[in-house]
Amino acid sequence: MSRPKPATFDKKKIVAENRRARFDYAVDTTYEAGIVLTGTEVKSLRFGEGSIAESYAEVKGDEVWLVNSNIPEFSHGNRFNHEPKRPRKLLLHEREINKLHGAVAREGMTLVPLTVYFNGQGRAKVELALAKGRKAHDKREHLKERDWKREAGRIMRDHG
């Protein structure tokens, strides 16, 4: 019998965050994926370097790859250093990969990385979102709705 997954992911140290993704995309579901890294990539991430601002994930066959993420070379890596923008394999269960593949192929959704972090056990993880792109008018509507919720909270707090 498998253990139930926690509602939120155990994020101990957030290394990189894609803050623009929640604005540009309507996030449907999120997945926690492991990431295959080399030694110098892990060291670079532990120093807080790395960016996923313009990256995305894609399903190729029965594997998921993180494309266009930037983990700069480690300063003391010498000849064992890694290529900064290489595609990196993400580790997910086969059932999750099949769900993602179906959603991307049929419903036109996108796989967007939201954060790269280290969990409580010191493992590098990626929070991957299955999302649908927002049009310009949807973005404006989202901003109005968010501002109204913030204003309503202020009004309730002041006159509550």
pLDDT at 24 over 90: no
Query: How would you classify residue 159: left for phi > 0, otherwise alpha for psi between -120 and 50, otherwise beta?
Result: alpha
d(CA 138, CA 133): 9
Tokens (6 digits) for 146: 């968010």
DSSP code string of 6-72: PSS---SEEEEE-TTHHHHEEEEEEEEEEE---HHHHHHHHTT--B-TT-EEEEETTEEEEES-B-P
Q: Mean pLDDT throughout 139-153?
A: 87
Banded model confidence at residue 1, pLDDT cuts 50, 70, 90: low
Tell me what pLDDT residue 91 has. Answer: 96
Tell me what pLDDT residue 5 has. Answer: 65
Tell me what pLDDT residue 59 has. Answer: 93
Length of the chain equals: 160
Which residue in 30, 71, 34, 20 sits closest to 49, CA to CA? 71
| pLDDT, tens only, 111-121 | 999 999 999 88
Banded model confidence at residue 34, pLDDT cuts 50, 70, 90: very high
| pLDDT, tens only, 64-105 | 999 999 988 888 878 878 888 999 999 999 999 999 999 989
d(CA 18, CA 33): 16
